[in-house]
Amino acid sequence: MGDLWYVLIAVAVWIAAGLLTVWWMARRGHGGPGWLFMGVVFGPVLALIAGERVRRRPTRVARTEAGTRGPGRLRVLVGVDGSPESEAALGLAVGLLGPCTETLVAAQVVDYDAAELDWQGRVVEAKSRLSAVAEESGGRVTACEVLAGPPAAALARFAGENRIDVVVVGRHGRGLSKRLLGNVAQELLRDGSVPVLVAGGRHGVSGR
């Protein structure tokens, strides 16, 4: 094996170590496009940076009051991300739980880097999507939240801090494969800190 092969192997290992670090960071709520470039360039050195950079606690980015409280007693949180599955989750929450709810919160989770820098207008996009969701619900959605962090952890933390009775999510979400970022519904079920209702198919929003 010539020297060139050793160089190529070393480069491949360097890049692979960096990309593994980027994947680890994405699982923990850091998904800015700059990390991919840094993973390729800095390789295993990025792991040292990541240990200091990665945040431990999901946060709230923005909140909007969207409607009046309902006549029921349930406090419901719906995860929204623009996918057909999240639309099904909203439809299920409105159609099945709507008459029993006091509070119905629609929340979208962005990564920490989008929350800080709003790269590609992710926070603005999330606010716009949530406003549309609130309108489509016919007034059933009482508040909209933009959260930052790993999706399952952010939803679970918000639910615990706000006395949410049930979290409604779609079976799958939008974005990278669940093999890379994990399945939010499964992670919430494993967490077990709050009851979870998973929407399996497409449900129309019946709040009007």
Q: Is 60 exposed, middle or buried (0-12, 13-18, 19+ CB in 10 A)?
A: middle
* 174 membership: H or E segment, kind and range: none
Q: What is the pTM of this model?
A: 0.74
Question: Do 80 and 154 belong together in one domain?
Answer: yes
Place of tokens 């360097």: 14
Q: Containing domain of residue 37, as a range? A: 3-53
Q: Is residue 205 part of a domain?
A: no
Closest CA relative to residue 89, chosen from 208, 183, 173, 191? 173
Number of domains in the chain: 2
Question: Do 161 and 101 belong together in one domain?
Answer: yes
Q: Residue 80 is part of a domain; what is its CATH number? A: 3.40.50.620
Q: Is residue 208 part of a domain?
A: no
Q: Is residue 206 part of a domain?
A: no
pLDDT one-digit tens code per residue, 73-112 = 999 999 998 888 888 999 999 999 988 999 999 999 998 8
pLDDT one-digit tens code per residue, 34-72 = 767 777 777 887 777 776 667 667 788 888 887 778 888
Question: Do 30 and 84 belong together in one domain?
Answer: no
